[in-house]
Amino acid sequence: MDRLVIQGGQALRGRIRVSGAKNAALPCLAAALLTPDAVVLSNLPAVADIRTMVKVLQALGTDATLEPQGEGFELTAKLACTGSDDPKAPYDLVKTMRASILVLGPLLARFGKATVSLPGGCAIGARPVNLHLEALERMGAVIEISHGYIHASVQGRLKAIDHAFTKVSVGATENILMAAALAEGTTVLRNAAQEPEIGDLAQLLVKMGAQIEGIGTGTLTITGVERLHGCEHAVIPDRIEAGTYLCAVAAACGDVVLDRCEPEHLRALLDLLERSGCVITEREGQDGRQLRIQRECGQKLRSKDITTLPYPGFPTDLQAQVMAVMTQACGISVINEGIFENRFQHAMELERLGANLRTDGHTAIVAGPAKLTGCTVMATDLRASAALVIAGLVAAGETVVDRIYHLDRGYAGLEKKLQGVGARIERVGGGRV
């Protein structure tokens, strides 16, 4: 099993190009099920979850190929779904990736039936699929869960609904948005999630011929059409990857420019880091917007409190990384996790590195600055992995981050990108003791 070995204490200086957003790419891949025509998606991050989703699509009757793009950190997918007599997303593919549930809505909308294994993914708390199933049942689907699988069918086309989600859910919003694109009538989705990745999916669907109003708001109005067509689409930059590198510089010090990112998608984090003492500059680049973050060695960080909330609030996917930053800030930081109930698993590993913190339910209290020293730590989920890497960049001596298969699910070439800005980090095989 691969590990990352980090020699801490190096300031980061240089440039990093941000890859496409994994959390936008996955629903966009699922949307290819809605048409028999060719769909070409570019700027997909070259991560494990993307390859898994493509395998799921292939199992569902999609002719799909992945080709390297640019420096190899991104991929282009060419997809054409002719369909399958028995569309089934099997457990051996679905078990590692929660986003596989996103094929359910498109399959029902286009083929009238689907069998999808109940999904897996990071163990960060309960993320029930009931919000997906309730809306699909209201649209006319008959759904049964047995032996770990969701069995769904509908006679004719799905029917439009006026539906208010009882809880803001990114996945449920995406699934029902795709289903509604081919449903009969006009669907209104209220209390819809507003994340930029949903807006990117909606823009793809519009290119495919869908009729959608209210993109970027909490109310989406979708007038169903009988058929969607193919198109080409470039996935938006990954705000969580960009945020992770911003946090790395904030913690370890340095001066780094991020190419191809979207500052508006990161406003909550940028505000936090600026108030903490980092200097951040936004500007236009040759390949989209750029962000420059500066924190010189010896410049003190100020502790700040955060509460994770649905977008445009502070993203839960950056909570762990910011906790690593706050270990280096002067004062007390209170971090409230408002989305998931089990997302402080990285806290104990940060303590092993020397962090001064404690957790109580949904709240973590971090006192800093703490002198971190290297040791072996274990990643427990995707974003926890990133937090441990950030802490390792700060810690004196050698830090070994184990179980980085979590990291590979969401970051393309993270160690290579960090090497490019001066970090002493390398990937080694499982034989290392």
The dihedrals phi and psi of 400, each to the nearest 5 degrees, come to: -115, 120
The one-letter code for the residue type at 195 is: E
Q: What are the φ and ψ backbone dihedral angles of 421, each rounded to 5 degrees?
A: -115, 20
Going from the C-alpha of 197 to that of each of 203, 217, 321, 366, the distances in angstroms are 10, 12, 20, 31
Amino acid residing at 302: R
- The secondary structure element, H or E, covering residue 41 is strand 39-45
SS (H, E, C) 124-179: CCCCCCHHHHHHHHHCCCEEEEECCEEEEECCCCCECCEEECCCCCHHHHHHHHHH
What is the greatest pairwise CA distance in the chain? 67
Cβ atoms 108, 154 nearer than 8 A: yes
How many Cβ atoms from other residues are within 10 Å of residue 207's Cβ?
15
Strands laid side by side in the 211-213 sheet = 162-164, 186-190, 219-223, 211-213
Instruction: Give the separation between CA 69 and CA 396, rounded to whole angstroms.
Output: 36
Out of 28, 81, 122, 253, the active site residue is: 122
Instruction: Report how far residue 50's alpha carbon sits from residue 67's, in angstroms, rounded to the nearest whole number.
Output: 12
Nearest to 195 by CA among 20, 355, 315, 33: 315
Which residues are 6's β-sheet partners? 399, 425
Q: Is 278 designated active site?
A: no
Q: What is the DSSP letter of 76?
A: E
Those residues with Cβ within 8 angstroms of residue 370's Cβ, 6 or more apart along the chain or in another chain: 327, 328, 354, 355, 356
Which residues are identified as catalytic?
122
